[in-house]
Amino acid sequence: MKGVLAIATLGILLMVSCKDSTEKVVEMVSETANDLHKTTAPDSIAVIPIEHATMILTHRDVVIYVDPVGGAEAFAEQEKPGYILITDIHGDHLDVKTLQAMTLDSTILVVPQAVKDKLPELKVKELVVMNNGDTKDFDAYSIEAIPMYNLRKDALKFHEKGRGNGYVLNLGGQRIYISGDTEDIPEMRQLKNIDMAFVCMNLPYTMTVESAASAVLDFKPKKVYPYHFRGTEGMSDVNQFKTLINKENSDIEVVQLEWYP
């Protein structure tokens, strides 16, 4: 009887030992997978909305201002920009007084030719002119200049094709699209592999909520941020924008930030 008990006890011990070993192996594999994910996953991009079309994107020590307007005081609590991107000549995108009030001697300024033509002499690290179709590699990221323009006949006077830039940034392992002032143009609908998209929608200057949602459903970014949605008749309905998108594609995450404090 004692022999039987000893064998049974040994069996139980072996089972416990095997179970512990299995759990340790699973735990080790899990930890390795997590470490691999941390190594290969895209780094996070922080988005700081300032107002309307103005934002800051940061990745590690890279700080990018997009269309800075509103005076230097609007950026008093923010890190200094390594890069500034300007999309167009209108006052909600290009504010010369704001640029003149900033310290930009370590900043690379990226603009379309139409914006450069309106700039006074600025003390910047480098002035880079990019027009539709241009690409440029910087130390920390690369950028593509994308067309932005109106399609509706009654809106053609606002944004002619070739004047301003949308941008696609390749930053931190992600592709980030900034629409600038545009309607749902073919060049937007044909975008590929966009992780983050900032899409405008305001009348009469850009496009309707319905047009913006239709374009987003075509190019399928992982995340879309409605921005630049104040028009002459007030704010566009960004909740409707989210509803229209997620009714057709629940995989697209619609992120609503505070653009109008």
What pLDDT does 233 receive? Answer: 85
What pLDDT does 8 receive? Answer: 43
- Which residues, including other chains, have CB under 8 Å from residue 179's CB and lie 6 or more apart? 148, 166, 188, 197, 198, 199, 200, 228
What pLDDT does 153 receive? Answer: 81
Kindly write down the DSSP assignment for every residue of 155-175, as one continuous string.
GTTT--TTTEEEEEEEETTEE
Residues 42-254: name the CATH superfamily.
Ribonuclease Z/Hydroxyacylglutathione hydrolase-like (3.60.15.10)
What pLDDT does 155 receive? Answer: 77
Q: Is the peptide bond before 42 cis (omega within 30 degrees of 0)?
A: no
Q: Where are the domains of the chain?
A: 1-39, 42-254
What pLDDT does 20 receive? Answer: 45
What pLDDT does 86 receive? Answer: 98
What pLDDT does 35 receive? Answer: 37
What pLDDT does 131 receive? Answer: 96
Bridge partners of 84? 65, 109
What pLDDT does 152 receive? Answer: 78
For the chain (261 residues), the mean pLDDT of every run of 10, in chain order, is 42 41 38 34 84 97 97 96 97 96 97 97 96 96 97 83 97 97 96 98 94 98 97 94 98 97 85
Q: Is the model's pTM score more than 0.85?
A: no
What pLDDT does 42 receive? Answer: 54
What pLDDT does 149 receive? Answer: 97
What pLDDT does 156 receive? Answer: 74
